């Protein structure tokens, strides 16, 4: 019997209402993501990439179908349970980094652990190790405004994986950095995936990301047009 997928989407639809018009962002999308995958979701603008990530990330509710994360059906969870699920089992990396500008690199990276109620000593040990791992040793006390875009995204990655989530959802993580920085970020995420088994799901337009991904799912008009494993 096959192992249970980390993410299971079954016939998922999402319809947005814009004025008097229904916009179908996802049209019966079905796919699984296994543990340890390094998956890129690509497709043209409006194909449903971000919508799909938002639904998997429990940030939005689907119109129909089902989404399960580690076997838990998202539709059956209330707001508080969804918030706890995001906190404990999902890591987020955003296109615009979205760090707290008033917090240092260290404080940003430990944010999720703090929300989880992890004690200060454990947080410190974990976060200092992570910052060293993402190449920011010695920059713990810098605020986001004192870091480059690539460095900020590294802090965001450290924040995303600090709590050992089941999956890291990265929405266009290299869109705001130059290609050289994008390359080093991808190196970092690939290393985390390979060495620590962190599962990554990206939405991207970036050919660099698609090249490095071991699975590329192409969406067109809210449906899976192709699913390529390498």
Partner 1 sequence: MKILRMAWRNLWRNGRRTLVTVAAMTLALWSMVLYTSLMEGMLSSMETTLLDVELGEIQVHADGYRERPSIWERIEDPDALLQALDETGLRSTARLLGGALVASGDVSTGALLKGLRPERDALVSEVHLRLDRGEWLDPADAKGVVLGYRLARTLAVEVGDELVALSQATDGSMANDLFRVRGVLQSLSEETDRATVFLLEDEFRNFFALEDGAHRVIVRSSEGQDLAAAAGLVEQAAATSAPGVEVRSWRDLLPGLANVFDSAQAAVQVVAFVVYVVIAILILNAMLTAVFERIREFGVLKAIGVSPRRVLALILVEGALQSALAIGIGLVASLPALWFVTTRGIDVGGLGGTAIMGVAMDQIWTGAVSPLTIAGPVFILLFVAGVALLFPAIKAARINPIEAIHHQ
Contact residues for partner 1, defined by CB under 8 A:
54, 57, 59-60, 80, 83-88, 92, 94, 96, 98, 100-103, 107, 111-112, 114-116, 159
CB of 38 to partner 1, least distance (A): 22
Which lies closer to partner 1 via its Cβ, residue 61 or residue 225?
A: 61
CB of 96 to partner 1, least distance (A): 8
Rounded Cα distance, 84 and 116, in Å: 9
Listed as own residue / partner, the contacts of 133-142 with beta carbons closer than 8 Å and 24 or more positions apart are 133/158, 133/192, 134/158, 134/188, 135/184, 135/188, 136/105, 139/105, 140/104, 140/105, 140/106, 141/104, 141/105, 141/106, 142/104, 142/105
CB of 188 to partner 1, least distance (A): 19
Which lies closer to partner 1 via its Cβ, residue 116 or residue 179?
A: 116
Helix (H, G, I), strand (E, B) or coil at 141: coil
Q: What's CA 163's distance to the chain center, in Å?
A: 13
Which lies closer to partner 1 via its Cβ, residue 124 or residue 215?
A: 124
Which lies closer to partner 1 via its Cβ, residue 98 or residue 184?
A: 98
CB of 138 to partner 1, least distance (A): 22
């Amino acid at each position: 019997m096959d192992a249970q997928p980390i993410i299971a989407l079954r016939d998922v639809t999402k319809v947005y209402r814009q004025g008097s018009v229904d916009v179908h962002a996802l049209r019966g999308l079905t796919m699984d993501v296994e543990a340890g995958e390094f998956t890129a979701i690509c497709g043209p603008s409006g194909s449903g990439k971000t919508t799909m990530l938002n639904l998997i990330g429990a940030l939005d509710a689907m119109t129909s179908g089902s989404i399960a994360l580690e076997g838990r059906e998202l539709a059956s969870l209330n707001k508080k349970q969804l918030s706890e699920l995001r906190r404990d089992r999902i890591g987020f990396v955003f296109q615009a980094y979205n760090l707290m500008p008033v917090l240092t690199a260290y404080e940003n990276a430990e944010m999720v652990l703090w929300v989880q109620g992890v004690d200060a000593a454990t947080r410190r040990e974990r976060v200092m190790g992570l910052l060293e791992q993402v190449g920011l040793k010695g920059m713990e006390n810098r605020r986001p405004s004192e870091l480059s875009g690539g460095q900020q995204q590294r802090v965001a990655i450290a924040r995303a994986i600090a709590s050992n989530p089941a999956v890291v959802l990265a929405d266009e993580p290299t869109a705001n950095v130059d290609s050289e920085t994008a390359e080093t970020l991808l190196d970092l995420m690939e290393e985390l995936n390979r060495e620590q088994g962190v599962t990554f799901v990206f939405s991207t337009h970036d050919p660099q990301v698609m090249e490095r991904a071991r699975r590329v799912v192409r969406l067109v008009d809210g449906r899976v047009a192709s699913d390529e494993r390498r």
